[in-house]
Amino acid sequence: MTQIRGRFAPTPSGSLHFGSLVAAVGSYLQSKSRDGQWFVRIDDLDTARVVKDSTSNILKALETFGLGWDGKVLYQSNRIESYHEAIDQLSKQGLTYPCSCSRKEIGMTSYAGTCRNGITSNKSNCSLRIRTKNQLTKFEDNVQGTIEQNLELELGDFIINRADNVIAYHLATVVDDYYQKITEVVRGVDLIDSTPRQIYLQEQLGYTEIQYTHLPLVTDQQGEKLSKSLGDLISARSEVPSTEYVFNALIFLGQNPPSLLKHERIETCISWGINNWSLKKVPQKNTTF
């Protein structure tokens, strides 16, 4: 039987907030409740988004909340060569091409394949796109149910290496999940539209299939995703007991923990979560909390 291997992959653009904690707790419990391993990866490829001390603050917070990881933390900034090897493999298969189209030129519509047969301008900085196919990419999400998308018709060929030479999120994620032998990805439902692209890349690279679980988002009073831009709601130095945050995450995830649990030690709260975790109880819809 294949051992369960999950992961949490935050971008170090700020400290952990409650929405991030919900994703981390859900991912951790989904792995540990089945005697699996849980890894942490820091998605720090886009240096323009990296905020000083964010990585150390995130890791300290995870420890404070009893979410200990297995093995060493993986940093994407150390894995550039691996991403280029994957790009070379795709290029040798005739699946990639340079594109000179800017985001402004494309607008909000799907990419029409303008540069499939050659770039349309003399721009020196081009992105690299992967050719999609006119077929359905389909998967069964453990919370959201059946998801399917025709990448060519609904999205078009997508970027795997940006014009500023930063490796695109989808490619890096797929390569690293394969490298870490991840068997199931548990994350927020805001990333569910990314999954067909990642599955497509896995297929073209010959990677192992992964199970996906997309959790509901924590939203504000306006229904918007709770984000770092609203301020750091959690830090390792918070005066609110760490158990209460994890307890609230369990409530948000539909696990119905006993009320006395929020007064216990963090280890007791996490242990209860592991022993009582049920995906069937996790709600589909985003919720204000």
CATH number at residue 26: 3.40.50.620
The verdict on 214 and 254 lying in the same domain is yes
Q: State residue 229's pLDDT score.
A: 42
The verdict on 60 and 190 lying in the same domain is yes
Q: State residue 242's pLDDT score.
A: 82
Instruction: Say if 175 falls within a structural domain.
Output: no
Which residue is associated with the tokens 């991912």? 27
Structural domain for 129, as ranges:
80-170
Q: State residue 272's pLDDT score.
A: 98
The verdict on 214 and 284 lying in the same domain is yes
The verdict on 190 and 206 lying in the same domain is yes
Q: State residue 35's pLDDT score.
A: 97
Torsion angle, alpha carbons of 108, 113, 118, 119, to 10: 0
- Residue that finishes a domain, picked among 170, 194, 229: 170
Residue 122 is encoded by which pair of tokens? Answer: 């003399």
pLDDT digits (tens, 9 = 90+) for 191-201: 999 999 999 99
The verdict on 37 and 137 lying in the same domain is no
The verdict on 68 and 103 lying in the same domain is no
**What total number of domains does the chain contain?**
2
pTM for the structure as a whole: 0.92
The verdict on 107 and 28 lying in the same domain is no
The verdict on 71 and 207 lying in the same domain is yes
The verdict on 27 and 166 lying in the same domain is no
Q: State residue 12's pLDDT score.
A: 93
The verdict on 209 and 95 lying in the same domain is no
Mean pLDDT by 10 residues, the chain (289 residues): 92 89 97 98 93 92 94 97 98 95 80 87 83 95 96 95 95 98 97 96 96 90 56 51 90 96 95 97 82
